[in-house]
Amino acid sequence: QVQLVESGGGLVQPGGSLRLSCVASGRVSSIYNMGWYRQAPGKRRELVADTSGGTTNYADSVKGRFTISRDNAKNTVYLQMNSLKPEDTAVYYCNVRTVVSGWSWGQGTQVTVSS
């Protein structure tokens, strides 16, 4: 089993920045993908960005504004979010995939972009 602890959400004005962090613990030896999803009220959960084997993947809506990075030594994945827009408001969930435990989710962290 993998446990995920997220941090870094909050309230920010349009155009501002936030950095999300997610630390994985437990059965982490077989992690092959780490990423972030988000879910806005009344909408389906969607992929924001993920990284696997040095390859990164971004939703079109965040390309050029968000950057995902990973520290394998710390089992940590980050999401740097710049030029935030009101439509980025959502609960952001860390996602980790392992060979042994399959998909695991964090508890979610709220990001609100508002003036």
Q: Could you list the pLDDT tens digit for every one of the 115 residues in the chain? A: 899 999 999 999 999 999 999 999 998 888 899 999 999 999 999 999 999 988 999 999 999 999 999 999 999 999 999 999 999 999 999 999 998 888 999 999 999 999 9
* Residues, the chain: 115
Torsion region of 8: left, alpha or beta (phi above 0 gives left; psi -120 to 50 gives alpha): left
Q: What are phi and psi of 110, to 5 degrees?
A: -80, 130
Task: Find out whether 80 and 70 touch, Cβ atoms under 8 Å.
Answer: no
CA atoms within 13 A on the CB side of 11: 2
Distance CA 47, CA 52 (A): 14
Which residue carries 């439509």 as its tokens? 87
